[in-house]
Structures are given as C-alpha cells and as structure tokens.
C-alpha cells in the first residue's frame, strides 16, 4: 500500500494511469449502456433526417435555430430504451416515438435505422405491427394533426412477416425515444463534415496532459522557488543583536 501511495505521488505515473483509464472507461461505457437500456443497438442515436421536423419550426439542423418542441430536429441526440411492444403508446398524437430498422436495408447499413412516431397498431397472429409517420412528413398535414397518410413500409422476400399492410413488425423495433439532447449531435456532424474530429480529440488530449502533468509540475517548481527566496531573504543579525545575544548567554552561564 505504501508503494502505491509513493507511486501515485509521482506526476508522470499519475498521468499515465489517467490516460490509460480513458479508453477503458469508454469501452466499458460502450458495452454496458446497451445492456442497461435493453437495446440491440447502441442507445445513443443522432437524428440525420428531417422527417421528424416540422418545417414551420425552421428545424434545418443549424445550431440554436429551433425551440425545445416535442418533435425532433436534425442533429439531436436521442436516448432510446428497449421496451415490450405491448407497452408502446399508440394514442396519437401523444404516442411514442420509436427507432426501428427499415426491412429493405441491411442491419449494418447506416441509413437502415428510422425514427418515426407511432400512428396506430394492429395485431396479427399474436404479433404487433405499427403504422408510423414522420412528424414533418405529409406537409401541411403534420403533427399533431390527425394524419391523412402514413409512411409505407414494404416487406421483403427474406422475411415476409417484416411488415403487414405497410405497418412495421415489432421484431424490427429497437426501442422508444426516452430523451432528446439538442444541438450536441449537430456539433459532432459539423465536426465530422469538416474533418475536425481528429483536431478536437487532439485538443482534448493536450488539455488533459496540461491539467494532469504540466500544471502540477509548474506549481511544484513555484513552491520550491518560494522556499529558496524565503531562506535567501533572511537578514543577518545586526551588531547590537550579536552583543545582546552574547551578553544573554554570558549571564546564563554565570
């Protein structure tokens, strides 16, 4: 234990441990979050399509260009949670917003995941199928008005049960949206578009090294310089003080 404490007092060792813990924490977070929220995909989802945006709200993906409405905007980060299909709310316009896979696209296709609101549901042979619609689709008949149309989802030959009457099967639903974080995703998208991800990571790493390594060394050197100045600036005793000290010691000896 004493050896560990001694090592931890070393600035280089402490910085090395901190830098090593960062990827471990990130990997652990990446693996644990889907289990905690019961999803088959990573439950942080960035909105890249404007289908959930209502045009009148200017939700064009620019930072600070929209208000905190109940609809979604390009650049929003969504947190989704896996739920039992029977627990999903279908009472439009207060129904759940869900994330599901387009059955005509492969699982690893970045454009396969869709974010839409449930309009209604139908049960066939014990399985639920959900009609959905983007809040901004079918303008001017947009949410929360009663939809006059719905988004058509077509089944594929590999899985004819993926849809029913243009409704998506419960088997293709990853979860419902439980939280929306505005703007952050837009910053990440702009950074990626301008090849700024590497620059941002480099800046964050440099700041971490400065805070954990360089600043402690500077503070330590300042303390050492202060001690040196304090010792150096001590004035030598005057002649009167020497005589007084001599007389005092003589009287004590007598």
Instruction: Note the pLDDT tens digit of each residue in 89-108.
Output: 999 999 999 999 999 888 88
Enter the CATH code of domain 43-194. Answer: 2.10.109.10
> The pTM is what?
0.65
Give the residue with greater pLDDT, 63 vs 140. Answer: 140
Q: How far apart are CA 15 and CA 46, in angstroms?
A: 33
Q: State pLDDT tens for residues 24-58.
A: 777 776 677 788 888 888 888 788 777 888 765 55
């Amino acid at each position: 234990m004493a050896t560990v404490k001694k090592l931890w007092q070393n600035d280089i060792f402490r910085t090395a441990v901190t830098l090593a813990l960062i990827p471990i924490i990130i990997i652990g977070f990446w693996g644990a979050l889907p289990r905690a929220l019961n999803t088959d995909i990573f439950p942080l989802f960035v909105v890249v399509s404007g289908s959930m945006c209502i045009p009148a709200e200017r939700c064009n993906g620019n930072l600070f260009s929209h208000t905190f409405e109940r609809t979604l905007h390009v650049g929003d980060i969504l947190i989704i949670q896996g739920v039992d299909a029977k627990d999903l709310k279908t009472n439009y316009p207060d129904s759940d917003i869900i994330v599901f896979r387009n059955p005509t696209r492969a699982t690893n296709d970045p454009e396969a995941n869709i974010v839409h609101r449930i309009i209604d549901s139908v049960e066939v042979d014990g399985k639920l199928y959900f009609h959905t619609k983007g809040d901004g689709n079918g303008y001017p008949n947009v949410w929360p008005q009663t939809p006059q149309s719905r988004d058509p989802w077509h089944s594929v030959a590999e899985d004819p049960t993926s849809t029913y009457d243009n409704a998506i099967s419960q088997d293709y639903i990853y979860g419902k949206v439980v939280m929306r974080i505005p703007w952050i995703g837009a910053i990440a998208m702009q950074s990626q578009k301008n090849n700024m991800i590497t620059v941002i990571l480099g800046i964050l790493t440099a700041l971490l090294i400065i805070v954990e390594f360089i600043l402690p060394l500077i503070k330590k050197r300042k303390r050492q310089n202060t001690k040196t100045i304090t010792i150096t600036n001590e004035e030598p005793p005057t002649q009167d003080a020497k005589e007084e000290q001599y007389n005092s010691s003589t009287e004590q000896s007598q």
